[in-house]
Structure 1
Amino acid sequence: MSETTSPRIVIVGAGPAGIGAAATLVEAGLHPVVIDEAHRAGGQIYRRPPAGFVRTPEQLYGSEAAKARALHTLFDRLAEDGLLTHCAGSSVIAVHAGRLHVLGEGGVQVIGYDSLILATGASDRIAPVPGWQNAGVFSLGAAQIALKAQGVALGRRIVLIGSGPLLTLVGTQLVEAGADVAAVLDTSSWYQQMRGFSGLAARPVVALRGLALRARLGRRYHAGVTPERIEVDEQGVAALRWRDAGGRQRLTPCDMVGMGWHLRAETHLADLAGCAFIYDMQWQQWLPKTDEMGRAGNGVYLAGDGVRILGADGAEIAGRLAAAACLADLGYQPPSAGADLRKLARLERFACGLARAFPFPAAMVRTLPGDAIVCRCENVTAAAVREGADFGGSEANRVKSLSRAGMGRCQGRFCQLAAVELVAAQAGCAPDVVGRFRGQAPVRPAPVGAFLRED
């Protein structure tokens, strides 16, 4: 095809999945548009600090430094050579009828597309703990962003609570940066973690690397804990009250709590683009439905943690596969996908092992005290969600409208999974019966003035 008739292909996200997709399309002779919220490509796992930052890639990314450098260099070269268009510092806030509404420094612009590849990644999966609405409580991802982007720890004495590889990774990164990490508390017991061993054996080197990171935490790490309450004073967080695996009550003084239970797929744009969803019992969340190449229908392709939580390596592969599917559907000759599909299958076995080893603490959430805050944005308590279930039945959006859970600026990213568990427990049904909150535009907060254009 000539340049004037080339299809308009837009990629949302410039992490490993978006970069993998962009490189594949450029190799085929196409010129994609890449839209990303960050000012420099890399995504969350390979997030880049500002220019002149003194910490090295080895300090920022550890054993992944070489991969991070390679991806950064690849994308920068493609952008500098004019082989793709990079819309940096821009957020897609709506999708409708083949058009993206993109919020940037100059306001909102509309970008049309023939094919859309969503590589939106994932964010922290949060389980509410009484007191988590107070100042000094952050997600693990926020703690990692502050460390990578600014070289700072978000507290003088830190406690991390949650489960999954990110918990160990952030704890180790903070310790090695010189932060005072008082405790790293994992709600998954040693027995539960061993249940995922068969899947983790699919990537023995990665599994051993994770154990090595945990060893660096030493006596700070505790498995099988139960968080009870984040204590606060007039300054904010003061301590975390918890029970260890033996049931003994513990109190750890701190001024910052970081929390997160592995990851949740970022699916709001996929929802607005009309993708179908299924409830994944393994991951205990709703995920978009695609074929093995990432096709979601209607010219939409999904890649990376926004559809399957497979980590950076899996995201890069999934990006290449989504681009190959896009090329094939447009009538271009796609690269062979056989090797990538085999690699992805192995990564999926490993990911399933992680899901078994580090599950979302549904039982803990279902027994939250009534005064515990579930939705921080709207200050909605567990009692209010249960009351909404009593009046509205077991349908997620009915409970949302009655209780206002999920109506705040995060649109349920932090509270939806917990709210659904509470509704399911109150209604006596499974979470998949409850359903999921519908996506709403704009998917990110946007000032009214951004929509006012002189033209």
Structure 2
Amino acid sequence: MTRVLIVGSGPAGIRAAETLAAAGLRPVVVDEGARAGGQIYRRPPAGFTRPAEKLYGSEASKARALHDVFDRLVAAGQVSHLPNRSVIALRDGVAHVLGDTLEKIRYDRLVLATGATDRLAPVPGWEVGGVYSLGAAQIALKAQGVALGRKIVLAGSGPLLTLLATQLMAAGAEVAAVLDTAPIRTQLRGGLHMALARPLVTLRGLRMRAALGRRYHAGVTLDRIDSDESGPTALLWRDARGEARRTACDTVALGWHLRADGMLADLAGARFDWSPAFAQWLPRADPLGRAGDGVYLAGDGLRILGADGAELAGRAAAIACLQDLGLPSPDPATVLRRLRRMQRFAEAMACAFPWPVEHIRHLPDAAVVCRCEGISAGDLRATLPVSGPEANRVKSMARVGMGRCQGRYCQLAGAEIVAAASGTAPAQVGRLRAQPPARPAPIGSLLAAGDREAE
């Protein structure tokens, strides 16, 4: 029997598992969460009484449908589900999986549905406790019904900024301000193309925006986060006219859309290309997600297309796998057509809510870029005469990207600073090479590694 390993049980992983199971395969699904659903449809612990409509809003029916599909597959024995585990290394058809112990799972085909992480731009003062990513604030709200603060400022750009604000408000949290770095004219230009690709989704976003009222400010410049020993006290910013503003708060959440998590794709041998549209490195794959011999990519870890796009990409990756195995598979034409529409929408969204290049390139020397290691923008600039403008050499000299996140949160901003200081482009700076373990692992678990054959 061919052994297919799926990493991730969000929308992409669930639909991939469903498609493979329908063809008679029994995939093994490994996921870091306790329950399937991914980040966007993250499920709270068993016994949590908050209804799906409060957790997922207008997407409640989609969330329930995905959860039900996966639960039925597991209950029927069509899928082997290994929750609370992280794949930390891949080599020679073996996944090294960290749970209570380190296990080794052999596979013949690999589907990576690893999703995305927050894309973060440094703001002076963001290194203090009480400054979170938008995704972290949303996870706390969904998983535990907790708002991470009593007076919250959300800042950045992208759809999650507006969505999280409305979710927090619906939960009764006080949102002091929603600060969007994207100018209105840029949003209008990209928004037109968004509406042409997905009119109903665009309209839903506009309705959420309207619900924010005077809390929402577009085209802002973020100057710094003031704090004391207890955490943030205020965010200082300038409005679209350049007037200085100060918003008192005890919590700040930041985020500029998403960054594809390509760590495992890199370890699996995928190649990467710089995407000017998305201002990040994205793995190379064919339209169905083939990224190498027996390696298939799906969801936001391949392209940032959102939850609906992830479901389609999960089906596409499974179809590619079945084709390569010579097994009967669904016709991919409809899936591919819908994926192309999702791609047009995503590119328009990236245009409407751009990565704040100029803000990053002009950060003061004292601003911390790498929170894990405490590396400042000045540290990066000072390293260039020795390292040159190459990402991995800068990492070895300045330690940026050597911390717990392994560059997930600082790599893109660091590349912008290096590019600006050296008169080159981020694509020429390159990307940090992935290294195992992909997640922090206790030394004891590495020493006590065992073998596990998925049933």
TM-score for the superposition, normalised by structure 2: 0.98
| Residue number in structure 2 paired with 1:136 | 130
Residue in structure 1 matching 2:106, options 101, 112, 129: 112
Superposition pairs for residues 33-182 of structure 1, below 5 Å?
33-105=28-100, 107-182=101-176
Shift of 1:333: 1.5
Residue aligned with 2:132, SS:
strand
| Residue number in structure 2 paired with 1:3 | none
Asked if the contact 1:13–1:34 (Cα under 8 Å) also holds between the matched residues in 2, the reply is yes
Asked if the contact 2:389–2:429 (Cα under 8 Å) also holds between the matched residues in 1, the reply is yes
In 2, the alpha carbon distance for the partners of 1:115 and 1:254 equals 49
Shift of 1:233: 1.0
Q: Sequence identity of aligned pairs in percent?
A: 62
> Which range moves more in the overlay, 196-205 or 392-401?
196-205
| Residue number in structure 2 paired with 1:249 | 244
Residue aligned with 1:418, SS:
helix
In 2, the alpha carbon distance for the partners of 1:83 and 1:380 equals 48
Shift of 1:30: 0.4
Asked if the contact 2:222–2:236 (Cα under 8 Å) also holds between the matched residues in 1, the reply is yes
Asked if the contact 2:191–2:202 (Cα under 8 Å) also holds between the matched residues in 1, the reply is no
Shift of 1:453: 2.5
Cα deviations by residue, 1:350-379 (Å, 9 ceiling, x for unpaired): 101100000110110000000000000000
Shift of 1:390: 2.6
| Residue number in structure 2 paired with 1:408 | 403
Cα deviations by residue, 1:197-217 (Å, 9 ceiling, x for unpaired): 342021000000001011111
In 2, the alpha carbon distance for the partners of 1:281 and 1:67 equals 31
In 2, the alpha carbon distance for the partners of 1:410 and 1:453 equals 24
| Residue number in structure 1 paired with 2:453 | none
Residue aligned with 1:39, SS:
coil
In 1, the alpha carbon distance for the partners of 2:28 and 2:229 equals 48
CA RMSD of aligned residues (A): 0.8
In 1, the alpha carbon distance for the partners of 2:383 and 2:436 equals 24
Residue aligned with 2:66, SS:
helix
| Residue number in structure 1 paired with 2:363 | 368
Residue aligned with 1:181, SS:
strand
In 2, the alpha carbon distance for the partners of 1:115 and 1:30 equals 11
Shift of 1:445: 0.7
TM-score for the superposition, normalised by structure 1: 0.98
Residue aligned with 2:321, SS:
helix
Q: Do structure 1's residue 350 and structure 2's residue 350 form an aligned pair?
A: no
Superposition pairs for residues 326-341 of structure 1, below 5 Å?
326-341=321-336
In 2, the alpha carbon distance for the partners of 1:453 and 1:423 equals 41
In 1, the alpha carbon distance for the partners of 2:416 and 2:443 equals 34
In 1, the alpha carbon distance for the partners of 2:193 and 2:210 equals 21
| Residue number in structure 2 paired with 1:189 | 183
| Residue number in structure 1 paired with 2:8 | 13
In 1, the alpha carbon distance for the partners of 2:227 and 2:191 equals 38
Cα deviations by residue, 1:115-140 (Å, 9 ceiling, x for unpaired): 00000000100000000000110000
Asked if the contact 2:103–2:449 (Cα under 8 Å) also holds between the matched residues in 1, the reply is no
Q: Partner letter of residue 119 of structure 1?
A: A
Residue aligned with 1:127, SS:
coil
Asked if the contact 1:373–1:380 (Cα under 8 Å) also holds between the matched residues in 2, the reply is yes
Q: Do structure 1's residue 259 and structure 2's residue 259 form an aligned pair?
A: no
Q: Do structure 1's residue 234 and structure 2's residue 229 form an aligned pair?
A: yes
| Residue number in structure 1 paired with 2:202 | 207
Asked if the contact 1:390–1:427 (Cα under 8 Å) also holds between the matched residues in 2, the reply is no
| Residue number in structure 1 paired with 2:318 | 323
Shift of 1:234: 1.8
Structure 2 unaligned regions, length at least 5:
451-455
In 1, the alpha carbon distance for the partners of 2:219 and 2:240 equals 5
In 1, the alpha carbon distance for the partners of 2:228 and 2:99 equals 39
Cα deviations by residue, 1:282-318 (Å, 9 ceiling, x for unpaired): 0000000000000001210000000100000000000
In 1, the alpha carbon distance for the partners of 2:368 and 2:245 equals 22
Shift of 1:454: 8.1
Shift of 1:52: 1.4
In 2, the alpha carbon distance for the partners of 1:387 and 1:137 equals 27
Asked if the contact 2:152–2:253 (Cα under 8 Å) also holds between the matched residues in 1, the reply is yes
Residue aligned with 2:47, SS:
coil
Shift of 1:196: 0.6
Q: How many residues align?
A: 449
Asked if the contact 2:102–2:449 (Cα under 8 Å) also holds between the matched residues in 1, the reply is no
In 2, the alpha carbon distance for the partners of 1:406 and 1:241 equals 27
Q: Partner letter of residue 135 of structure 1?
A: G
Structure 1 unaligned regions, length at least 5:
1-5
Which stretches of structure 1, 4 residues or longer, exceed 4 Å deviation after superposition?
none
| Residue number in structure 1 paired with 2:292 | 297
Residue aligned with 2:146, SS:
coil
